[in-house]
Structure 1
Amino acid sequence: MPRRTHLILIVLLALTAACSPGDQPADGPTDPPTRATSAPVAPSSAPALPDKSDAPRRAPAETLPITTRELDLQRGKDRPLPTTVWYPTSGEKPFPLIVFSHGLTSEPEAYATILRAWAKAGFVVAAPAFPHTRYRARDYDPLDVINQPADVSEVITRMLAYGKEHGDLIDPARIAAAGHSAGGITTVGLFSGTRDARLVAGVVLSGRQVLPVPFQGRAAPMLFVHGKLDKTVPYADGKAAYDAVRWPKALLTVTEGGHVALTKDFAPVIATTTDFLRYTLYGDATARGRLKRDATKGGLATLTDKL
C-alpha cells in the first residue's frame, strides 16, 4: 500500500471508530426545504478565478429572514451531491458564499443551527451531502474524503451558476469554505493540495491536516476551532494545522469542548465564526472589533488572534 494512502487510511479509520450516527448533532432546519426547479447546471472543467465585484460590501445591520432550498447537484456521472442551501430573502445582493463540508456519517441538516446563523448574518450557505461519507451512505468509504475537495469545488461552480440564475444572488469574489471533522480535513485540502483559487477565507472546525502538504496559493484568512477535550481529532492535531498556516489566522480553543458539541447551539463558536466571516467576506470592522470579546465571553474559550 502506498505511504500516502496508508497515512490517509490510519487517520480516517480513527475518525470512523470515534464517529457514529448517534454521535452527530440532532439539530435540523426549522423550515421545510423546497426542491429547486432550475435546470441542472453543466459542470465546468476548471474553476474560474474570482471576478472583481463592484457590489456593496456592507454587512447587514440586522438579522435577515432566510429560506432553504435543496439542489440536485453532482460531479460527473457517479458523484451525486445533493446540496442544502440556506440564503437570505432580503438585504443587498449579491451575498458572499460559504460552502460547508460535513463530517463522517453525518449530513448537512446535522449542522443546521450554525449554518442558519450564518445565513441570517448575510451569507448564502451551501452544504453538500457527500456520496460515500454521509449518514446512511449506501457505499460508505472513509477514504473517499480524499475526493471531497474536488466535490466542493464543483459545488462552488454550480452555486455561482445558480446565483446568476437567481438575480445575481452570489458574489463570485467573496467565497469561503468551512467544515467539521472530516469536513475540516476536506476544507484544509481546499487550501493546500487541491487549492481552489476562488476561496478567500476558511473555517476549520475540529479538523486537521492528513498530509504534510503546504497551504498554498494567495493568502486567505483562516479560523480554526478546536476543543481541548476532543478525543476524535486531538487538539494537538488541530493546533498543528493552525501552526502550518502562514497567512492571517486565528484559533478558537474551547476549554471543555469535545468533538461534536462545537457544532451545536454553542454561543462562542456561533458568534466567533460569524464575526470572522463578516470581517473576512464583508470587511466588517465592527465584527473584527468584537471578535475577541465574543470568543471569550463566559470564560468558555480562548482566542489566539493573528488576523
Structure 2
Amino acid sequence: MLRRSFLTLFAAAGLSACSSAPAPSPAASAPASDFSFNRGGDRSLPTKVWLPAGNGPHPLIYFSHGLTSQPDDYAELLAAWAAAGFLVAGPKYPHTWYGAPEYDADDVVNQPADAQYVITELLKSLGGRVDPQRIAAAGHSAGAITTVGLFSGSRDDRLKAGLMIAGRQMPQPAPFSGPAAPVLFVQGGEDETVTSAEAWGAYNEVPWPKGFLDIPKAGHLPHRDEPALVAATTTDFWRWTLNGDQAARQRLPQDGLTSTF
C-alpha cells in the first residue's frame, strides 16, 4: 500500500504540543452541548458543540482536531467563533484523539468520511438552529489535512469555506474539486511539523479564492502563539465567507497575508 505513515510526518514532540489551550475568558465563552454519534463499528464520534446566542439559524463551522488532541484543546479559538455568532462543532476522532484506546495516526485517511457523517447528524439533531446553506470546515494539523480531504478526494459540496491551520495535503494528494469555496491557510514560519513549504504546496493547488496568513515567529500552534491575530483574522474570514460581510473582508490583515480574495 502506497501510504506513508502519519507517524513519520508528525514528530511526537510537535503533536504533544496540541494539549489544552487556555480557557476562554467569560466574555468570550459560549455554552456548549455534547452529542454522541457513531458511524458504525468502532467509529464513535462524541461531538462538542459551542452554541452562539439566539435561536438561529446560525452558520455551522465544523472543526477537526490534530493528532493526540481533542476539541477542548482549541476551546479559546472555538468559543471566540461562537461568541461571534457561529455554531461550532468538533468531534473526537476514534483513533487519533489523545485518549483513543487504539491509537492509529494513519486513521486520518478515514476522517473525512467521519466529518461528512457528523455534519449530516448535526443538521438532523440541531434542526433550525443551523443554516444548511452556510457550512464551513476547519482544522489544525492532521485535522487540517482532514479538512483538505473534504475539499478534494472526499469533497463535501455542502461546504462554503475552509480553514487550514498548519495544514498540508494527504500523502496521496487528490485535486481540489467541486464548487468553488474560499479557503484560508494559517501557518507558522517556524513550524517543523508541517513546514511552510508543505502548506504552500497545498495552497498552490487550490483553484478558488484563497489566502495564506504567514506568521513568521509562530510554530506548529499559531493559534496559541498569536491568539489575538488568529482569532481576529479567522473570525473575519467566517464573517465574510458565511455572512457576506464585505467590511470583514476588508479587515483581513494586510501584513503577512497573501491572497486572491
Task: Give the structure-1-normalised TM-score.
Answer: 0.80
Counting only pairs closer than 5 Å after superposition, residues 177-188 of structure 1 correspond to structure 2 as 177-188=137-148
Provide the residue aligned with 2:132 in structure 1.
172
- For the residue of structure 1 that corresponds to 2:67, the secondary structure is coil
Could you tell me the percent identity over the aligned residues? Answer: 49
For residues 22 and 43 of structure 2, the distance between their equivalents in structure 1, rounded to whole angstroms, comes to 24
State the structure with more CA Rg: 1
State the 1:19 CA deviation. Answer: 3.5
Tell me the alpha carbon deviations over residues 40-63 of structure 1, each in whole angstroms, 9 at most, x when there is no partner. Answer: xxxxxxxxxxxxxxxxxxxxxxx8
Provide the residue aligned with 1:145 in structure 2.
108
State the 1:30 CA deviation. Answer: 5.8
**1:206 paired to 2:166:** yes
Provide the residue aligned with 1:306 in structure 2.
260
**1:74 paired to 2:63:** no
CA contact (8 A) 2:24 2:76 kept: no
Compute the RMSD of aligned alpha carbons. Answer: 1.8
CA contact (8 A) 1:113 1:265 kept: no
**1:27 paired to 2:26:** no
Number of aligned positions between the proteins: 259
**1:17 paired to 2:9:** no
Tell me the alpha carbon deviations over residues 230-277 of structure 1, each in whole angstroms, 9 at most, x when there is no partner. Answer: 010111000111111010000000010100242466111111111101
Which of 25, 39, 48 lines up with 1:84 in the alignment?
48
**1:120 paired to 2:83:** yes
Call closer, same or farther: CA 1:236–1:213 in 2, change over 3 Å: same
For residues 250 and 131 of structure 1, the distance between their equivalents in structure 2, rounded to whole angstroms, comes to 31
Task: Give the structure-2-normalised TM-score.
Answer: 0.94
Q: Which 4+ stretches in 1 moved above 6 angstroms?
A: none
For residues 81 and 29 of structure 1, the distance between their equivalents in structure 2, rounded to whole angstroms, comes to 23
CA contact (8 A) 2:218 2:225 kept: no
Q: Give the residue type in structure 2 aligned to 1:17.
A: A
- For the residue of structure 2 that corresponds to 1:19, the secondary structure is helix
Q: Give the residue type in structure 2 aligned to 1:281.
A: L
State the 1:184 CA deviation. Answer: 0.5
Q: Give the residue type in structure 2 aligned to 1:97.
A: L
Q: Give the residue type in structure 1 aligned to 2:34.
A: E
**1:195 paired to 2:159:** no
For residues 66 and 114 of structure 1, the distance between their equivalents in structure 2, rounded to whole angstroms, comes to 11
Q: What are structure 2's unaligned runs of at least 5 residues?
A: none
